[in-house]
Amino acid sequence: MREARIRTFKDLIVWQKAFELGLQLYRVTRSFPMEERFGLTAELRKTARSVACNIAEGHRRRSTTEYVRFLDIASGSAAELATQLLLAGELRYFDKNQAHALRALHGEVERMLAALMRSLQERASR
């Protein structure tokens, strides 16, 4: 079986998952309290965008080292997002189903980022 060729960042499953996480966060934060408009709502959206955007930007870089650096930034943003998701959950801004789905997708993105970084670092060290 032949592997699918990665031509653009959009072909990366980790980017697709990060993008989907961002879309879901935009949707669920529509129901957040108005006083969070410039607070947690804006931060969740910005941080989720950062994850997907850094994966995309890293993919376009010329060297594997630069690519890994941008994936590391995306990973840091994912960690920041984890804290924001916990905060929103504790404030009961999500229902239980939303919280579960967001945590699951977030965890998947974090694991995929870590695996991609490991793979690229191993390839670069050969």
Give the residue-averaged pLDDT of 110-121: 96
Task: Reply yes or no on domain 11-125 having CATH 3.40.50.720.
Answer: no
Residue type present at position 96: K
Residue type present at position 26: Y
Give me 81's structure tokens. Answer: 């997002």
- pLDDT at res. 1: 47
Rounded to 5°, the CA angle 95-83-90 comes to 35
Give the residue-averaged pLDDT of 40-53: 98
Nearest to 68 by CA among 112, 107, 124, 29: 124
Handedness of CA 113, 100, 20, 93 (dihedral sign): negative
Note the pLDDT tens digit of each residue in 24-45: 999 999 999 999 999 999 999 9
CA distance to 3, 10, 116, per residue, from 96 (Å)? 37, 30, 30
State yes or no: pLDDT of 98 exceeds 70.
yes
What are the extents of the domains in the chain? 11-125
